[in-house]
Amino acid sequence: MQLYWDNAMTKTAVYRWVKRFSEGRESVTDEERPGRPATSRNIENIAKICQIVHENCQLTVRGVAQQVNIDTESQKNLN
């Protein structure tokens, strides 16, 4: 039975997390990485996206992301 489909972690990622926890890690949140933002969620992007969707609700996620100039993967973080 395929429960998680494309949202499931890869086997490699699972092994990485097992190693981290066996080394004493207790938190499941990612550590901050220098040089890249953790998310595209900010007041300006949320306002722009709301306006774009209000004006044309038939746009795709890719279309909205292009207009706001963010990565389509970042769009998932706006929920």
Q: What percent of the chain has pLDDT over 70?
A: 73
Cα–Cα distance measured from residue 39 to residue 35, given in angstroms and rounded to the nearest whole number: 12
Q: Return phi, psi of residue 11, to 5°.
A: -60, -40
Tally of helices (H runs) and strands (E runs) in the chain: 4, 0
Cα–Cα distance measured from residue 69 to residue 67, given in angstroms and rounded to the nearest whole number: 5
Q: What is this structure's pTM?
A: 0.43
Mean pLDDT of the 17-23 span: 91
pLDDT digits (tens, 9 = 90+) for 31-69: 776 765 556 678 888 899 899 999 988 888 888 888 888
Cα–Cα distance measured from residue 79 to residue 76, given in angstroms and rounded to the nearest whole number: 6
Report which of residues 5 and 77 the model is more confident about.
5
